[in-house]
Amino acid sequence: MFRGRGTLCVLATACAFVLCALPAWASGVDFAGESASADAQRVAQWVMEYGDNRGAPFAIVDKKDARLFVFDAGGRILGATPALLGLAPGDHSLPGVGDRDPSELLPFERTTPSGRFDSEPGRNHTGEAIVWFDYDAALAIHRLRPGKAHAARLKRLASPAPADRRASLGCVVVPAAFYDLVVGPTLGRERGVVYVLPETRPALEVFGVQQVVQR
């Protein structure tokens, strides 16, 4: 796959925390009426309670719902959108997948890995502005691109069924207007953090949260 300049790495959260499962608004995270899963709300809460974003804008990719949420550094939601994600279920990328041509990827290899990723603005081989979130796997947040599959992908984005939005090679693909109005002015201008929620493990466990305490 083609990649831009820069290097990203996945940072594992070193410490395990005890998290109280309060509503997202209790920790200063405001979804502003956007529909969000319990996992997305809890992760946003944890990010702000423990300052895991380190003062940077951040995004949450909810793979089960095939949605992207973008926040400013203070936890204020800037926008949410349906997104196209990796065709295949799974929370890991195969080794070396980022060094191969996209046309070589088999269906089961087209995954969007879960985890905490430092993101970085960049450009692809055509000069298009994108946001790298897993550089080694050549994965980015980018616009829905024109081409022969454009109409079909627009239809998938508009579908209410999350399963219909599993159609990409692994990148997070969003409507062009959403990228230009929300992603570009935030993650497209500075380094940030992208939290990709898992499909096969408890969400908080992936980010180093050892225990969830209900109260």
**What are the residue ranges spanned by the domains of the chain?**
17-213
Residue 106's contacts (CB-CB under 8 Å, 6 or more residues apart) are: none
Q: Residue 206 — left, alpha, or beta (φ > 0 → left; ψ -120 to 50 → alpha)? A: alpha
Q: How many CA atoms lie within 13 A of 37 on its CB side?
A: 18
| Entry pTM | 0.81
CA distance 157 to 176: 12
Determine whether domain 17-213 maps to CATH 2.40.10.220.
no
Instruction: Indicate the pairing of strand 172-174 with strand 192-196.
Output: unpaired
Tens digits of per-residue pLDDT, 87-121?
A: 888 776 565 555 455 566 555 567 899 999 999 99
Is the model's pLDDT at 19 over the cut of 60?
Answer: no
Q: Which two tokens stand for residue 198?
A: 């898992």
The neighbouring-strand residues paired with 122 are 130
Q: Which two tokens stand for residue 83?
A: 């997104």
Tens digits of per-residue pLDDT, 139-161?
A: 999 999 887 888 999 999 999 99
Least confident of 29-38, 74-83, 183-192: 29-38
CA distance 38 to 127: 37
CB 114 within 8 A of CB 197: yes
Determine the average pLDDT of the residues in 66-88: 95
Distance of CA 19 to the CA centre of its chain: 22
CB 110 within 8 A of CB 138: no
Closest by CA to 66, choosing from 131, 139, 163, 169, is 163
In degrees and rounded to multiples of 5, residue 113 shows phi and psi of -70, 150
